[in-house]
Amino acid sequence: MAEWPRPAMAHRSALAMTHSARALAAILVDNVVAKGRSLSQLFDEYADELAAMPNKERSLTKALTHGALRHYPRWRVIIDEACDKRLKRSETLVRALLAVGLYQLLESRVPPHAAISETVNAARQLDKPWACSLLNAVLRRVQREPHTIQAWLRKTPWAMLDLPQWLWTLWKRSWPKHIQLLASGSNSQAPMTVRVNRQKTTREHYCRVLADAGIAAQPHPVAPDALVLRDPVEVNRLPGFYEGLASVQDAAAQLAGLAVAPQPEMRILDACAAPGGKTAHILEICPEAVVNAVDSDPIRLKKVEENLRRIGAKATLIRGDACHPDSWWDGQPFDVVLLDAPCSATGVIRRHPDIKLLRRLSDVTAVAATQKSMLQSLWPLVRPGGRLIYATCAVTTQENEVQIQKFIDLTPDARAVPLPWTDPSPLPTAIGWQCYPGWQFMDGFYYAALHKQTMPDTP
């Protein structure tokens, strides 16, 4: 059996639960908002405490944390207006607790009396008894005065859509007609999608296996190996997961395998490969393809190894910098280079709502410079007649169509060619294919395929 790390159970019974769901959610939200920490790291850090909670309490903690962060742009406006000068900026934990309370009151099915009283109780637990009356007053006012809240929010159209101002500005400029779709897609909960390993089973058969296990799923309309689950489940409940029958991967990410279109003996470079979702899919489509998987992060590269071992596939794994192939490339050109570039991740906010709080406009500019350098450094590795597939989970023109257009303008032997699926780009784009989060259950993703001409065109 593959040595996939199974969830650790050892500490569960040993640890006593120390915080209520509301209190722990507030701690997590505060760490993201005030200390700039990433939620996935925090969930790892608090794994023991979460594991010690009863299932319902653990799910509630995660739902409250995600919900408070997902709608934080709105909560920030309400907290500032409602608290006026009564709450110091430095009281970040109380602000986080208010966000948790507002989420329960305005976006969840928690009965209002429970939302208010449990949030107030959490303040005591967090050693903030002085904040109880403030929390009580603000939450009750929000409940009583919906028109006042609307009037506050109308002054900040980005907060009204639960977007950070910089992202609202970018999206409004690039896709003014789609701003509502972009916002509602980013604010919704993402479905769990699995990729069925076509070397081990078929999608139809695995769908029946899931149904027998009480897991309802439907085939994805665009990605041929994808099944969309009606409700998310723990990964260890997926039948045959440890034997490599299925992997968790968004349907948009699964289009990379189609774009690469691997063939036996085809030499493929997966240039930013970790944790290996796309490498694995390429090898499930065609195990005889010769894949080199490069990533600069040794810890993440280890994940590629684990993922490939679990599905029973082989690739050459290389720790290397995609901007400096001279330090790791053996000089043999590739038929296809997949560049799944590091990006702003603005297409996966629905899975990682902390991105709204952690990213800035300057991050988009910085990452676009890295992508440009990667494109330029990797293009010489493509053989004449070969292709480079460019992908990001970003929804910004700077990282996508503008990036690719500039690259083509500077690169005489690069031509954009169509992608192999027939659906037109869900968001208008001059070059490539850009979907928004929520389109056909997918994350926001961008793809472009570039063909290397055998000879530069003569003018």
Q: Are 32 and 71 in contact (CB under 8 A)?
A: no
Question: Rule CB under 6 A: which residues touch ligand SAM?
Answer: 253, 272-278, 294-297, 300, 321-323, 340, 342
* Residue 341: CB atoms within 10 Å: 25
What minimum distance in Å lies between the beta carbon of 329 and ligand SAM?
12
What minimum distance in Å lies between the beta carbon of 300 and ligand SAM?
5
Q: Are 153 and 77 in contact (CB under 8 A)?
A: yes
Inter-CA distances, 155 with 21, 81, 143, 159, Å: 33, 11, 20, 9
What minimum distance in Å lies between the beta carbon of 280 and ligand SAM?
8
Residue type, 225: D
Structure tokens at 287: 């195990």
Cα dihedral value 254, 255, 257, 259, nearest 10: -170
Residue found by looking up tokens 């296809």 in the block: 336
Nearer CB in complex with ligand SAM: 143/370: 370
Nearer CB in complex with ligand SAM: 30/295: 295
Measure the CA–CA gap between 355 and 348, rounded to whole angstroms.
9
What minimum distance in Å lies between the beta carbon of 40 and ligand SAM?
13
DSSP secondary structure code for residue 234 in this structure: -
Measure the CA–CA gap between 241 and 228, rounded to whole angstroms.
16
User: Would you call 273 helix, strand, or coil by DSSP?
Assistant: coil
Nearer CB in complex with ligand SAM: 20/377: 377
Nearer CB in complex with ligand SAM: 21/304: 304
Nearer CB in complex with ligand SAM: 32/322: 322
Contact residues for 348 (Cβ-Cβ < 8 A; gap 6+) = 190, 250, 355, 393, 437, 443, 444
Measure the CA–CA gap between 95 and 107, rounded to whole angstroms.
17
* Residue 352: CB atoms within 10 Å: 17
What minimum distance in Å lies between the beta carbon of 363 and ligand SAM?
13
Q: Are 395 and 423 in contact (CB under 8 A)?
A: no
Nearest residue to ligand SAM, scored by beta-carbon proximity: 272
Is 393 annotated in the active site?
yes
Among 388, 371, 376, residue whose Cα is nearest residue 336: 388
Q: Catalytic pick from 272, 343, 393, 435?
A: 393
Nearer CB in complex with ligand SAM: 61/307: 307
What minimum distance in Å lies between the beta carbon of 8 and ligand SAM?
23
Catalytic positions, written as ranges: 393
